[in-house]
């Protein structure tokens, strides 16, 4: 649903509330605490009073939007904006779009990603599958201040130092801005030898994908992901020749391709999962710029959800339905 449709279909907050109520209760509201249908009429604050348990409740009580202070119409706009962006929307952009503070936009973004993660848990993969890892983290940079992690290898540019001194004497001073001085290891490693955070994914050709952040990529960890999401009896797994996949033939029909020799041979390749990693990397670099290891699983869930729903136009309604799913009763 686009923003114009939302504006037309939900002209005020009450119409948005009634939409959530229909998805949660149908035609008649029920108590969010005791499920009784013996409830009073809607109050001025859009809450109901249960005549059975004597408690007051709203449509968001004990749901994934429990205790939200935002208008539900704002949530509808947020759902539409986030699901419409293939490579994601930054909290700063969402702040501008819906007119809230940055901190609020940041919380909204992560709440939406948690609603997306609900859908991802039900994924089951079969057929021709591809499995691979990618590594997410900062790009190695050249040193900003002439220093390195090796104190014995200070780096100097005499002619530039001389020019800076001349300008300083003329009244022009250069000051380093706030932020990270961008020190890094000398000759930092890439790929599996890096200190970046590994993300492992499995994709079904022309189908769904699943991906998880992992601390380690041992055979046991990779096997757990396969057992969790793959119908092993009706599947063939394609991987590269990473040692963690060497024993996969014990649990699933397995074929590997040596990327040191070639990337594709008669249809045997990992191009589909590589394409998914490209979407993830472009989203992180282009929209979010930097994500911490703590919240990386949330962003991965977003990209998985959008990829799996790429051929369907139900992402918006899926988020609305997931937002109304009940949690543990208070």
| Contact assessment for residue 119 and residue 318, using Cβ atoms and an 8 Å cutoff | yes
Which SS3 state, helix, strand or coil, does residue 243 take? Answer: helix
Tokens of 276: 């998914």
Confidence of residue 156 (pLDDT cuts 50, 70, 90): confident
d(CA 239, CA 237): 7
Domain parsing of the chain, residue ranges: 3-119+312-323, 123-139+190-291, 141-187
pLDDT above 90 covers a percentage of the chain that reads: 73
Query: Which string of DSSP letters, residue by residue, matches 185-228?
Result: -SS---GGGSSSEEEEEEEETTS-EEEEE-S---HHHHHHHHHH
159: pLDDT strictly greater than 60 = yes
Tokens of 61: 């009580």
Is the Cα torsion angle 302, 296, 229, 324 positive or negative in sign? Answer: negative
Angle, alpha carbons 314-316-321 (nearest 5°) = 90
Quick one: pLDDT at residue 150?
A: 52
Q: Which of 29-33, 120-124, 139-143, 273-277 has the lowest mean pLDDT?
A: 139-143
User: 322 with 22: CB under 8 angstroms?
Assistant: no
Angle between helices 102-120 and 315-323 (to 10 degrees): 100
The pLDDT assigned to 139 comes to 61
pLDDT of res. 161: 86
Q: Does the pLDDT of residue 321 top 70, yes or no?
A: yes
| Range of lowest pLDDT (137-141, 199-203, 234-238) | 137-141
DSSP collapsed to 3 states, 99-124 = CCCHHHHHHHHHHHHHHHHHHHCCCC
Going by pLDDT thresholds of 50, 70 and 90, the confidence category of residue 1 is confident
Which residues are CB-neighbours of 327 under 8 A, at least 6 positions away?
62, 63, 64, 66
Q: 170-196, pLDDT tens digit by residue?
A: 999 887 666 555 455 555 566 666 678
The pLDDT value given to residue 190:
61
Residues contacting residue 212 through CB under 8 Å, at least 6 positions apart: 199, 200, 201, 225, 297, 300
Segment 99-142, tens digit of pLDDT: 999 999 999 999 999 999 999 999 999 999 999 999 997 665 55
CATH architecture of 123-139+190-291: 2-Layer Sandwich (3.30)
Which pTM was predicted?
0.83
46 pLDDT band, cuts 50/70/90, is very high
| Residue 134 near residue 113 (C-beta atoms within 8 A) | no
- Confidence at residue 138, expressed as pLDDT on a 0 to 100 scale: 64
Query: pLDDT tens digit string along 78-101?
Result: 999 999 998 899 999 999 999 999
| pLDDT band per the 50, 70, 90 thresholds, residue 281 | very high
How high is the pLDDT of residue 316?
Answer: 94
What span, in angstroms and rounded, lies between the C-alpha atoms of 228 and 88?
27
Taking 80 as the threshold, does the pLDDT of residue 19 lie above it? Answer: yes
Per the prediction, the chain carries an average pLDDT of: 89
d(CA 50, CA 235): 52
């Amino acid at each position: 649903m686009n923003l114009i449709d939302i504006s037309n279909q939900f002209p005020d907050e009450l119409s948005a509330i009634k939409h959530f109520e229909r998805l949660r209760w149908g035609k008649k509201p029920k108590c969010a605490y005791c499920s009784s249908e013996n409830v009073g009429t809607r109050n001025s604050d859009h809450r109901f009073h249960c005549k059975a348990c004597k408690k007051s409740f709203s449509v968001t009580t004990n749901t994934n939007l429990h205790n939200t202070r935002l208008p539900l119409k704002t949530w509808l706009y947020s759902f539409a904006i986030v699901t419409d962006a293939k490579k994601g929307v930054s909290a700063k952009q969402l702040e501008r779009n819906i007119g809230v503070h940055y901190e609020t936009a940041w919380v909204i973004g992560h709440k939406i990603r948690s609603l997306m993660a609900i859908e991802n848990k039900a994924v089951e993969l079969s057929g021709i599958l591809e499995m691979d890892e990618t590594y997410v983290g900062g790009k190695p940079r050249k040193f900003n201040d002439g220093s390195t992690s090796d104190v014995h290898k200070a780096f100097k540019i005499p002619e530039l130092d001389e020019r800076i001194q001349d300008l300083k004497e003329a009244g022009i001073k250069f000051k380093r801005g706030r932020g990270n001085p961008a020190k890094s290891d000398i000759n930092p490693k890439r790929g599996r030898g890096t200190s970046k955070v590994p993300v492992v994914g499995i994709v079904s050709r022309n189908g769904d994908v699943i991906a998880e952040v992992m601390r380690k990529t041992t055979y046991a960890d990779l096997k757990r992901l396969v057992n969790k999401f793959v119908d092993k009896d009706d599947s063939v797994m394609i991987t590269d020749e990473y040692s963690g996949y060497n024993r996969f033939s014990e649990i699933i029909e397995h074929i590997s391709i040596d990327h040191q020799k070639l990337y594709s041979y008669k249809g045997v390749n990992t191009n589909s999962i590589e394409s998914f990693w490209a979407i993830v990397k472009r989203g992180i670099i282009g929209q979010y710029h930097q994500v911490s290891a703590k919240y990386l699983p949330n962003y991965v869930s977003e990209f998985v959800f959008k990829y799996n729903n790429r051929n369907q136009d139900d992402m918006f309604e899926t988020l609305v339905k997931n937002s109304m799913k009940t949690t543990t009763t208070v």
